[in-house]
Amino acid sequence: MSTTSAVERNAEREAERLASTAQVRDNVITRWRSRGAFILFALMFAGGCLFVDQFATTGNLVALLQSQAFIGMVAVGMTWVVLSGNFIDLSAPASLAIAANTVLRVSPQSVPLAIVLAIAIPIGLGLVNGYLVGRLKLNPVIATLGTAGIAMGLLYLATGGTTSTGSVASLSDVASARPFGVPVPVIAFLLLVLVNQLVLSRFRLGANVRFVGNNPEASRATGIRPVATVAWCFGLSAALAAVAGILLGASTNNAVTGTGAGYEFDALAAIVLGGTLLAGGIGSFWRTLSGVLVVATVNNITLLLGLSAEAQLLVQGIIFVTVVGLDAIATRSKA
């Protein structure tokens, strides 16, 4: 009898130990996801200031932010898609390219019309994505890859494959301005982070998106419409990519059908590095900001060190694979 009691006590202690270990692990993962990218950025920034020539100059720091501002805007929009549990929006570069080419070609006739069309057309593309993914249950990678191809093909037909130029001076002046020495695209990116974080944390849409990302079937039982919520997310992703396209086109006075190519993967890297869960439901726009800062700092330091493009990709790839691995661990913990 006493032997049985001792075995039971040992089993209970072992179960308590395992539960305690799992709790500690989950706490570490949670804290890393919320603060890890900011800590990593702070360490990299300090290292750059101490060991990399020209890193701490005002001009370089402004260039660091400006280089990632457009990708950052795309990342802010795509964060909505990831939070809803739909992994990625591969059509974001198409939305950006449509906006950039539209604003350059239409603004000489009417700036307001150019801006409206540059945002409305991508939003239409985003809503189509939302319908395909939310209603028809298509895989988001396949759906957005397909709509991106269609959109880029139509853009090529509309422009004849030629370079778009011709932004009016007033629009270019605004997009290229530097209030207090800070480029307008950087200001726009930071404002978008702030506004979207407020929507996520203070408005019903944010709560709905988190709920849908965590459990779409359970969210339907509470009265939330998952299809409409997913459509909102893809629409917002397209709209913010369009804002990036408008500012990029107006500031450079140049756009082609391939403008923004590859931005979707840099944006996803920033989102994941920031700690937003790829499985959906967990994350924030502050985290996306921290991820963008990490990506920007890595790119800037490798450039200042004179590393080749291949070496830069190697460093970025190692960091991204490491963080995705941590994300997989966190996803299993969530499950």
The DSSP secondary structure of 302-330, one letter per residue, reads HHHTT--HHHHHHHHHHHHHHHHHHHHHH
Tokens of 215: 């459990």
Tens digits of residue pLDDT in 1-51? 556 666 556 656 655 665 555 555 555 555 566 677 888 899 999 999 999
Tokens of 283: 């994350």
Cα separations in angstroms, 325 against 36, 57, 109, 149, 331? 14, 34, 50, 30, 10
Tens digits of residue pLDDT in 144-177? 999 999 999 999 999 999 999 877 788 888 999 9
Please name each of the domains of the chain with its CATH number.
32-334 (1.10.3470)
Burial of 84 (0-12, 13-18, 19+ CB in 10 A): buried
Q: What does DSSP assign to residue 91?
A: T
Tens digits of residue pLDDT in 86-96? 989 999 999 99
Phi, psi angle pair for 87, to nearest 5°: 65, -60
- Is 0.85 surpassed by the pTM of this model? yes
For residues 125, 186, 184, 312, the Cα torsion angle rounded to the nearest 10 degrees is -80
